[in-house]
Amino acid sequence: MLRIDINGAIRGPKTPGADLGDLLGLAGPVEGCIEDLRRGGPSRGWVDLPLDEAGALAATKWAGALPPRIRNVLVMGIGGSSLGPLALYHAIHHPLTVLLAPGASPPRPVWFLDNSDPDTVAGILDALDPAETLHVVVTKSGSTAETASQLMIAWERATARLGEAAKDRFVFVTDPEK
C-alpha cells in the first residue's frame, strides 16, 4: 500500500505551506479529472494498473526469473517513458539506493537513461557491463528518435561485446499495435 505523508505541507501559524482550504477545494476538480481519464478508453488503461493484480504477479514472476548474471537494469526512454518509471522507482526506493549496503537496496539497481546527450549516454553505457545489464527500452510509438538513438548505441555496444547473446539483454515496452 502506498502511503503519502503530508506533514509539513499544510500551512500552520509558524510554517509555510499550502492552505488546507485551498487543497480541500481541489478534491472535486481532481475527481473530475480522474473520471475523464477513466472514460478515455483503452489508451488510458494505465489509470487502472494499480488494480491489475494478474499483471503485477506476471511481472513479478518474470523479474524473479531473471538470471543472477543480470546485475543492473537500464531503462531507456524519453519523457513519460522514463519519468513515469523513475517516479515510481523513487516512490518505492531510497533516492540513492545504488549507494546503500547490500540487503538495504533492491537486488538490482535500476538506472535511467532519459536523454540523448552523448556524454550522458556514453557515461552510463561505459559504467554498465552489457553482459550484466538488462536494457528496458520504453517507447509508446516505437518510433521516438531519442529512444531509437539510445537503443542503437546500446545495441551496438552489446553486440560488440556479446554477439548473438545480446538479444537476451533487451526488453521492449511499447504499444503492440504501433
pLDDT tens digits, residue range 88-140?
888 888 878 778 777 777 778 889 998 888 999 999 999 999 999 999 999 88
Residue type present at position 163: G
* Residue 43 pLDDT > 80: no
Q: What are the tens digits of pLDDT across the range 53-92?
A: 898 899 889 988 999 999 999 999 998 888 888 888 888 8
pTM value > 0.75: no
Q: What φ, ψ does residue 133 adopt, rounded to 5°?
A: -120, 130
What was the pLDDT predicted at 46? Answer: 66
Position 167 scores a pLDDT of 94
What phi, psi does 171 have (nearest 5°)?
Answer: -130, 140
- Phi then psi for residue 168, to 5 deg, are -80, 0
pLDDT at 158: 97
pLDDT at site 41: 56
pLDDT at res. 92: 84
Task: Look at the block and give the residue holding cell 482550504.
Answer: 21
Backbone angles phi, psi at 18, to 5 degrees: -80, 150
Q: Specify the higher pLDDT residue, 145 or 50.
A: 145
Are 174 and 100 contacting, i.e. CB atoms less than 8 angstroms apart? no
Is pLDDT above 70 for 44? no
Predicted pLDDT at 97: 79
